Structure 1
């Protein structure tokens, strides 16, 4: 088996664990620890198809026919959630002090189900993380969009924030290797803030140790340029709220951090929650160690 074939199978193992297929463009971008180009990838994909080791339907490849079948069933749910995201794009864009928002987790992987929420990753201005989070919670609750313990389906979940001063996520990686975090990181789908996203990626060069073909530009298929009016309104809101935010950020930070660690789930053995000045990562059930074990086991069989 060639190195590229092994890389393809490794990447498709990741997608198979989540029971979704992938296009050749996505396989190339997320090709695990293997450097190649599209032409070589095509040749090796065809070889694996001829050997019966992978399957193809339309533009999608998978390790099993079941993944291809399931994907067709999931498309309606996926499209419904994207419609909701773009219906409220204006609201997401107008959130003060938010520089960049990306879709992450299940929707970014086209892996939604009947109970899935919609997860977001947020980059805020410096010294504005907890004010921004407070605004997000209040506004989205007013619109009936914010995820709660009892209302999850199709609700908006904001569980990972960083500021422009803390964009290097290498400290979040688990010891040894962290394949799930790498695949997750490379699956971000930015909604707005193109330049902020590109700057964020430059601060995370560790990704190329896992995925050497990854190109941030490959993630812009859902990026939308806000209208001039939206830009003016957002700028105006940030000017109006600048002084209150400057004064309230220390208090908001104290309240949010204390509340975060008052919750018992953030002290579970599976928790990797971080709540600090420039990063908030809410993760009570972190699956990365289990994923790593399964992924390595599948690679070795």
Structure 2
């Protein structure tokens, strides 16, 4: 099997885990190598002709299942609605002290949502003030339960300006980074992209864009509150809040408390980051991806041999 065919199958295998068919253009963007358009289109046509890949209109998938196309269509429609809501949420959350950038993450950043989808948000805070910002935002989130709007405020992943580079460098983290939809903080988002240029090793065709990010425009409230904590006392409070939060989450994990999706609750924390880690999700997904690749590259050898 030539390299282009393998790359196409591997790309479809990743999104197949999420039952998400891709267009030809999307497949090309998520390939791990560069190809000229003619070679790419030829390889894709060959895979379809050999029934290693199935085509339904503009979409391609590893499964001969048209319901996946219907699912994607409905998911894209729902996502368009939620992305508009996310924009309004971002306008609100950027007003919190020490928040410097906000982007949509998770399935919504891939333009998919269903009736169970949340608005997952990626938050960048000022240096050494992540835990003050996070605590204030999560106090606010507690109040959203009173009006049943908690699903709009899933502030899941935090980093600060001191550590913009994502340390885990895998196909999973690369796709998560490049598919973020920036909402607020064009300058810090641009710095974040520069710090994570390593994603081009995995996705050389995908260019990260800032088109939707608004410039930071601090309110008087934000400026005043930040001045109150821009001192050694603020440093101590931030560190104390990190330790308190870490202790509470370790207790939840030890007690095997589960989230709304049935996974044991866990969070990976540090001075400059806070991220969910339910059931070691990333490791399991990558193992599933590698297994899927092995399976699809072995099965069609008789069809794809040159």
Q: TM-score range by the shorter chain?
A: 0.7 to 0.9
Preserved CA contact (<8 Å) 1:109 1:187:
yes
- TM-align CA RMSD: 2.9
Pair 1:4–1:280, CA change in 2 (3 A) = same
Answer whether contact 1:115 1:154 (CA < 8 A) is retained. no
- 1:166, distance to aligned residue in structure 2 (A): 0.6
Distance 1:152 1:22, change over 3 A: farther
Matches within 5 A, 1:104-253: 104-142=105-143, 144=144, 154-170=151-167, 172-173=168-169, 178-217=170-209, 220=210, 223-225=212-214, 231=217, 234-246=218-230, 247-253=233-239
Alignment of 1:57-76 (within 5 A): 57-64=56-63, 65-76=66-77
Gaps of 5+ in 2: 257-262, 296-306
State how far apart, in whole Å, the 2-side matches of 1:154 and 1:271 are.
17
Is contact 1:137–1:146 with CA below 8 Å preserved after alignment? no
Q: Any conservation in 2 of the 1:12–1:27 contact (CA below 8 Å)?
A: yes
Normalised by the size of structure 2, how large is the TM-score? 0.80
Query: Would you say 1:8 and 2:8 are equivalent positions?
Result: yes
Q: Offset of 1:20 from its aligned partner?
A: 1.1
> After superposition, what is the alpha-carbon deviation per residue over 1:258-299, rounded to whole angstroms, capped at 9, x for unaligned?
233223344569777322221112323222222222211221
Give the CA deviation at 1:168.
Answer: 1.8
Q: How many equivalent pairs are there?
A: 283
Show CA shifts across 1:95-116 (max 9, x none): 3322211111121123423222
Q: Distance in 1 between matches of 2:96 and 2:40?
A: 41
Corresponding residue of 1:262: 248
Query: TM-score with structure 1 length normalisation?
Result: 0.81
Structure 1, unmatched stretches of 5+, are none
| 1:58 Cα offset (Å) | 4.8
